[in-house]
Every structure is written in structure tokens, then in C-alpha cells.
Amino acid sequence: MPKQTFFNLKKEKKEKIIQAAIQEFSTKSYELVNLSDIIKQAGIPRGSFYQYFEDKRDIYFHLIDIIKKTKMSYLSDLYTNQDIPFLDWVEVLYSRGVIFALEQPKFVQIMDLLLKNKNDIYVQLIKDGKDFAIQYYSGLIEKDKEKGLLRKDIHTKTLAVIVSDLTTNVTIKELDTKNPEESYQMMKQNIHHILYILKKGIENNG
């Protein structure tokens, strides 16, 4: 997290530092980003940077936190509306994620580089995100069971893991930041097919 001295800065100066970091981390993988380039773009002395952040990792994690909060602003009403059946809820959630991606391309580029790099930061962030998703999905699945919308014999955590893994894998496989519109539509289509199969099953019962 940034130091308090960063939060004490004027809004314009904070924004300039953040935009410099976004520019660098959206065009290069984490390991290739040079802290001196961020400092130069931000127009601050090197010593001032260390008054605001511990190191490159610190400002990177702050960026990831900004991305998460920005994306949540697209999704927050869904987390307060749990009346939608679970699988329909997932499809709407994914569609909102596509809107976020179209409107925040640099944030998507940062996450795309993270997904492709698979370094220790990736392991930490993806694990944290997956753990949260599985826990939250499990709660929605249990509610659907109580309403009679899902079979009670379905193992809750297994279904939550399946949905989490499949939706994440579609994103990793189909994401193409050079052709965003086409790749996002393909992602939505694939998610729709996956959720349809989960709803209807694969056995032909005549």
C-alpha cells in the first residue's frame, strides 16, 4: 500500500504518478518495467517516489487495487441483487466484465500481461481472486438449492470451482487486446455455451 505521504498529495500530482505507472505496466511485463521510467514520466525526484511507495512492487499492487475497485464499480449492484439464478447471474457478471474491458483498455492490458507472465505476483493475485469467487459462488449455489432451482445432490464447492475455472480459462484463452471487440464477443459467446451446457446437462433423455 502507498505511504500516507502519497495520500496527502494533491489530486493532480497523485493522478500524474498513477497515470505514469499505468502507461508503463500496460505496455511491458512487470519484470521489464523500469522504475526510473515511471519516475521520469511522473516528473518527480527519485527520492520523492520512495516517500510515497516502498518499491516497484508496492506501486504495482496499488494499481491492481485501483483496477479491482474500478471493476467492482461495474459489478457492485449485482452483488447486492442475489435474486437472479446463479448461472444467469454469472452470465450477467461476465457481460459487465466485458463492458469494463471495453471502457478500461489499459487496465485490461495490465491484467493481460499479468495472466501471460505467470510470475509469483500472478500466483498470489489469481489465488486470492479464485478463493473469493469460489466462496461467493458457493453461497449463491446454496441459495438456489434452497429455492429448488438446483438439485440438492450437486456438490456446491465442485460446481463453484467448475464455473470459476471455466470462466477464467475462457478469458485467458480468448483475450486479444489487439482485437478487443472480436475477442470480447467470442468470450461472451463461449461463456453462454458453457453455462447453457451446465443448465441443460449433456445426456439425451429423449
SS3 assignment for 161-203:
HHHHHHHHHHHHHHCCCCCHHHHHHHHHHHHHHHHHHHHHCCC
What pLDDT was estimated at residue 205? 67
What digits encode the pLDDT tens for the residues 59-104?
Answer: 999 999 999 999 999 988 888 876 889 999 999 988 888 888 888 9
pLDDT tier at 123 (50, 70, 90 boundaries)? confident
Domains of the chain: 4-56 (1.10.10.60), 81-200 (1.10.357)
What pLDDT was estimated at residue 106? 93
Q: How far is it, in rounded angstroms, from Cα 74 to Cα 47?
A: 37
